[in-house]
Amino acid sequence: MRSVALVIWHEIRVTLSKRVYWIMTFLLPAFILIGTFIPQIVAGDSLEEDPLTAMQSSIQHIGVVDAPGLIQELPPGLPSDLIIIYDNEAPARADMTAGELDQLFIMDADFVNNGGVTAIGKGNNMFSNLGSEDLLSYIVAYNLTGDPATAALLVDPLPRVTYTDLASPTKVDHGDDAASSFVPFIMMFVLFFVITITAGFMLQSVAKEKENRTMEVLLLSLSPKQLMLGKVLGLGSVALVQMMIWMLGARTALMRSADLLSLPADLTLPISYLALVLVFFLLGYFLYAAMLGMMGALAPNVREGTQFTFIIIFPLLLPLWLNSIFSTAPNGTLAVILSLIPFTAPTGMVARMAITTVPAWQVVLSLLGLLATTYFFVSLAARFFRADVLLSARSLHWRRLQQEIRGLFVAQS
């Protein structure tokens, strides 16, 4: 055990001395949080600002040719000089040409039956009219109903929707889908990068020691199995520290987002959820560290070993690419499958649990499948940590990998 402890301490010391470790641990999350907070602060300020005031900063005068004679008065609170009502089209077009109007709406005489409106903006920019169309709709609706509240509902009949999951009695109440997409994405992001970065250190450590022939010295004082155990536990320790820092940053970002965007309190990350995240992280780390460590044991140098990195981590990346399905249909077929497959479970199940209540049997099944797969690959990788493999300078390619795996199973039988 003393030899294993020395390897653990060596891996911790070497990893902590790497600048890239501290950059990925602190600077990258800080950059992400800053990039998240600034748009949210701007969004929060804009939400507190009166929409009419915000629109008036760019639009001073809007002309409306009221051919059907529907607009008798403006709703309460609207400045009288914002909307200029015309009885016919000629003077309105003249004022628009003279630059006295920013936008002009010409209502058809048969507007009640066909709803036709011609919008004219400066520079023929069709998007310049989008901001004031709702305002015109509100004015028309107010004159038809006589009630500002009813007019507002006609313009936006679903101003606030309460979303609830069939499997969960907890309601998630929010005005848009920002929260439902932000929560699973940030958790998948954290899990993916911490697992791949720290598991990647395993490949680099083994391949580099083979390349500089340090491996020959190490194998004189400890067995290959002790070497692998020490590396996995040592890198796992620094990975756990990194994961806890990232999770703290994720929880802080989510709580900050809730404050700025008035998101519901139940979107924060409870301790029970974070505990499950740590379990999925540890199993995911051991799984991918074993696979990448196996590549490091077979590769004669770091360059050849890293050629297989993307192929190995691709399953873990898949839920991150398909993150929208976890926010739109967290209990849909594809989301459930990705959360149960062991290679995608660390990111897939964590994303589902962040946004909905996952049935307990699915969580248990996902953990058992991940545990069994991790045990299999750790055992498989341990068989590659042999002196003849670790000291070999043979090139790593698919045919050799197949031969080595086939040779293990033949020898076992």
Cβ neighbours of residue 281 closer than 8 Å, sequence gap 6 or more:
191, 194, 195, 239, 240, 243, 346
| 346 — pLDDT class (breaks 50, 70, 90) | very high
- Tell me, yes or no, whether 252 and 114 share the same domain: no
Q: What is the predicted pLDDT for the residue at 361?
A: 93
Are residues 14 and 127 located together in one domain of the fold? no
> Is residue 46 situated within a structural domain?
no
Do 295 and 341 belong together in one domain? yes
- pLDDT: which is higher, 289 or 164: 289
Residues 112 and 199 occupy one common structural domain: no
Verify that 337 and 375 share a domain, yes or no. yes
Are 131 and 208 in the same domain?
no
136 plus 252 within the same structural domain? no
Residue 41 falls inside a structural domain: no
Summarize the confidence of residues 142-149 as an average pLDDT.
83
- pLDDT average, residue stretch 207-217: 72
331 found inside a domain? yes
Tell me, yes or no, whether 236 lies in a domain.
yes
Is there a domain that residue 53 lies in?
no
Last residue of a domain, one of 124, 157, 190: 157
pTM of the model: 0.60
Domain-located, residue 133: yes
pLDDT value, residue 183: 67
In a domain, 348, yes or no: yes
* Shared domain check, 215 and 350: yes
Alpha-carbon distance of 194 to 8, in angstroms, equals 19
Pick from 106, 133, 157: which residue ends a domain? 157
Assign residue 130 the CATH number of its domain.
Answer: 3.40.190
Distance separating alpha carbons of residues 287 and 376, to the nearest angstrom: 9
The answer to the question of residue 322 being in a domain is: yes
Q: Are residues 205 and 66 in the same domain?
A: no
Strand, coil or helix: what is 9?
Answer: helix
Please indicate, yes or no, whether residues 405 and 286 belong to a single structural domain of this protein.
yes
- Which range has the worst mean pLDDT, 24-28, 93-97, 138-142, 330-334? 24-28
Same domain? 185 vs 301: yes
Domain that holds residue 126: 61-157
d(CA 365, CA 373): 12
Longest dimension (CA), the chain: 98
24-33, Cβ contacts within 8 angstroms, sequence gap of 24 or more? 24/193, 24/197, 24/242, 25/241, 25/242, 25/245, 25/246, 26/245, 28/193, 29/245, 29/246, 29/249, 30/249, 32/189, 32/249, 32/253, 33/249, 33/252, 33/253, 33/256
- At 349 the pLDDT is 92
Contact 304, 211 (CB under 8 A): no
Shared-domain flag, residues 88 and 183: no
Q: Which of 106, 128, 157 is the last residue of a domain?
A: 157
Output the six-digit token pair for 383: 């068989």
Most confident of 143-157, 215-229, 346-360: 346-360
What's the Rg (C-alpha) of the chain?
31
- The label of the residue with tokens 């004189």 reads 220
The whole-number average pLDDT for the span 75-84 is 77
| pLDDT confidence band for 147 (50 / 70 / 90) | confident
pLDDT on residue 408: 65
Closest CA to 267 of 391, 183, 147, 200: 183
Number of domains forming the structure of the chain? 2
